[in-house]
Amino acid sequence: MSLYVVTGTDTGVGKTFVTSTLVSRLRRNGFDAVALKPLETGWREATSDAAQLAAASGQPIDATVWAHFDLPAAPSVAAAAESRKIDLDAMSSWIRGSSAVHSHCFVEGAGGWMVPLDHDRLFCDLVEDLSPSGVVLVSASRLGTINHTLLTARAIQRTCRLSAIVLSVRPSDPPVEAQMHLAEISKRVDVPVFAFPRALDELSQLFHVEHQGR
């Protein structure tokens, strides 16, 4: 089993698009790959990230999300709004159990690397506890992304292995700017940087190689 965490420089940068597309490609290539969304806020089931990830994984939605909250906010804030608490130990056990029966499992976070999950702990603390095979960092091709990506990459590498950085490029993003972002980020990090979805094949091949090396 290979467990990867997908995080982002911010919310709305394309984590679900990247994760669902990657899982779909791996499954088409014969890998038993699934995606999990342990926590989701701003919950609307039909349009949720969990629903998209479940469809890509060939799994029911209740096997994809551990807890969800109505308020579109950080998990700690959204849980408090409903007078609920997030049991991180129970969630961590659920992630391990859900991922153990698949060759590849991608755990998509809610928000960014340091989003608060409860009064004391952040998403990065949960990831450190999970000891994943690697972390995939997703960023958007927009003003400020170089700074945000490099800051987040350094934060991840303090405690975890960063497998790749994925620049999620939308059809409306100017190609010249996207190429500039890719080049500027690439020359300042020591991990592969992919423009997505153009480099989907190269990204999926990365996980083929990592799986074979384990």
CATH number reported for the structural domain that contains residue 205 in this entry: 3.40.50.300
Place of tokens 């809610």: 110
Q: In the prediction, which pLDDT does 212 show?
A: 58
* Residue of higher predicted confidence among 154 and 212: 154
Residues noted as catalytic: 37
Query: For the whole model, what pTM was predicted?
Result: 0.95
Q: How far apart are CA 85 and CA 76, in angstroms?
A: 8
Q: How far apart are CA 128 and CA 70, in angstroms?
A: 27
Chain segment 45-85, per-residue pLDDT in tens: 999 999 999 999 999 999 999 999 999 999 999 999 999 99
Q: Which amino acid is at 86?
A: I
Among 95, 105, 110, which residue's Cα sits nearest to residue 34? 105
Residue ranges making up the domain that contains 179? 2-212
Q: How far apart are CA 202 and CA 182, in angstroms?
A: 15
Q: For residue 214, is pLDDT > 60?
A: no
Q: Are 114 and 149 in contact (CB under 8 A)?
A: no
Q: How far apart are CA 61 and CA 55, in angstroms?
A: 8
Chain segment 19-52, per-residue pLDDT in tens: 999 999 999 999 999 999 999 999 999 999 999 9
Q: Into how many domains does the chain fold?
A: 1
